[in-house]
Structure 1
């Protein structure tokens, strides 16, 4: 496919940006030695070596491996069967949930894991040893920055069932943070309502942000009629703050609102949530008089003209 194809799929990218990403990928894969089937001299390709390493000396569940590595279930199952045939791993029902298989290393598997671990340390040392102190620090700082943005790019924002356990767990984390930050505490039963039934299409939507399969943020849209909509339950986990997740959630909710015919979006927030107020202000939301009697609201915002600005 041509670069022009990708330009129609992703906003704000050009051919030079895509070429630089591809060049970086080639440089990294060559430098860390993943191009042959003998990663770190293990006699294994990178995928097998990484899976063995992720099982770890303490073992883990097949479910956690799939979530952590983002690999196809069938692919992981084939590799695990091969490991068992080699005498490297054993699997048993997990003590907490017999439906889940737990994988552990055998003594032979632990010996290979130790060898991989030592060679990985050696490879890291080889990468740094030829650099001077200032270059080394610059490389480490750049790696940290790249890792941060790779994590940001891995966050997926998708519609979710507001009745699901996953959504309810995310909301509980949100409510607990509000209770800790508000001087008066927080009782969701006293706040402006956003019942699960109001957040199901076409009357509303609930979006979850996920990273490595775990919910790390949420946001909801209520359709109020007459071209109005309301944003509710905006929250991002502390572990991913600074990665632009809130901005992406807000944009995704606005896109849903536009598709639903909403032209005016409203929301309310508490004065202690300074980050949220800054987010809304820089996205074109202006303060308005109160439009509800939410006892926890101290600031009310509105954004008009969504239909004409998209």
Structure 2
């Protein structure tokens, strides 16, 4: 990975300082509602997630902790403050007394509705001084910024092939391609845990805010030759560039294990995968294995690591 330049760091921090000041994030009375941004954001997320799920019991506090990246103690203190103010109710899940749930009260819903109105007015006020073309340019730039920041926040981790996250990703992968392949997909074709563990291979999972959103497997095919399998990205995390990051992680692991070549195959229906492999330096080759779901076969020579 290339080192980050001081100029890039300075530009990023400069934008952060300007934007947080411009939207009033440092104000103790964010949007003029009498509470700091932390409490306001927490109340917004509680109301928003409750509306999305439609579950009367509210949302788990631990889901909010993961979503907002908050310390458990800090989250608990803010929840107690909002509860004392009559904005939320905290309870225990009826089927699991270890799970604390939180939901907005009627007064909390009123405040969230007003918060949305004020936030929209603030955004409209900022955009109002720009021309239509400038607004379009800014909106497009923000979309690129969000995509790249999401990608920057995703981690790719080496996990045991038998781990719950690895198997959950493979189950999701199987369901995804079963719907895409005209002939369907038999989950028995998935790699077994022992094929992607220890000396035999490796399994990587991509995490966004502690949630698995992608995976990829590497297994030993023959001496100095590895095979990449099941590169998959959750629909919510596609078009970020994550598949290429997973592919790079698998190639790096292959090089570290002394593999000189990696191979893979793909189905005719996965045209976007074929395009990505070609763009990443893979060359189409004759079939190297008889695989029922393979229509195209690729390989790439690796640079050995010291």
Alpha-carbon offset, residue 198 of structure 1: 1.6
Q: Which runs of 4+ in 1 moved over 4 A?
A: none
| Residue 15 of structure 1: aligned partner | 6
Alpha-carbon offset, residue 96 of structure 1: 5.4
Once the two structures are superposed, the pairs formed by residues 270-281 of structure 1 within 5 Å of their partners are: 270-281=267-278
| Residue 48 of structure 1: aligned partner | 39
CA contact (8 A) 2:251 2:302 kept: no
Tell me the distance in 1 between the aligned counterparts of 2:152 and 2:224: 33
CA contact (8 A) 1:264 1:306 kept: no
CA contact (8 A) 2:255 2:302 kept: no
> 1:307 aligns to what SS in structure 2?
coil
CA contact (8 A) 1:88 1:109 kept: yes
Tell me the distance in 2 between the aligned counterparts of 1:87 and 1:257: 56
| Residue 102 of structure 2: aligned partner | 103
**2:166 equivalent to 1:167:** yes
**2:304 equivalent to 1:307:** yes
Once the two structures are superposed, the pairs formed by residues 119-268 of structure 1 within 5 Å of their partners are: 119-189=118-188, 191=189, 194-224=191-221, 226-268=223-265
Task: Calculate the TM-score normalised by the size of structure 1.
Answer: 0.87
Tell me the distance in 1 between the aligned counterparts of 2:150 and 2:187: 31
Task: Calculate the TM-score normalised by the size of structure 2.
Answer: 0.88
Alpha-carbon offset, residue 95 of structure 1: 4.1
- Where structure 2 has 5 or more consecutive residues not aligned to the other structure, the ranges are 51-57
Alpha-carbon offset, residue 225 of structure 1: 5.1
Tell me the distance in 2 between the aligned counterparts of 1:81 and 1:202: 50
| Residue 71 of structure 1: aligned partner | 70
> 2:187 aligns to what SS in structure 1?
coil
CA contact (8 A) 1:156 1:209 kept: yes
> 2:199 aligns to what SS in structure 1?
coil
Residues 64-100 of structure 1 show CA distances to partners (whole Å, capped at 9, x for unaligned) of: 2112112222221121122223332221122454432
Residues 137-165 of structure 1 show CA distances to partners (whole Å, capped at 9, x for unaligned) of: 32222222222222222222112333233
> 1:33 aligns to what SS in structure 2?
coil
> 1:186 aligns to what SS in structure 2?
coil
| Residue 7 of structure 1: aligned partner | none
> 2:198 aligns to what SS in structure 1?
coil
What is the number of residues matched between the two proteins? Answer: 298
- Where structure 1 has 5 or more consecutive residues not aligned to the other structure, the ranges are 1-9
Larger mean CA deviation between 129-138 and 195-204 belongs to: 129-138
Tell me the distance in 1 between the aligned counterparts of 2:110 and 2:176: 44
Alpha-carbon offset, residue 120 of structure 1: 1.5
Alpha-carbon offset, residue 243 of structure 1: 0.7
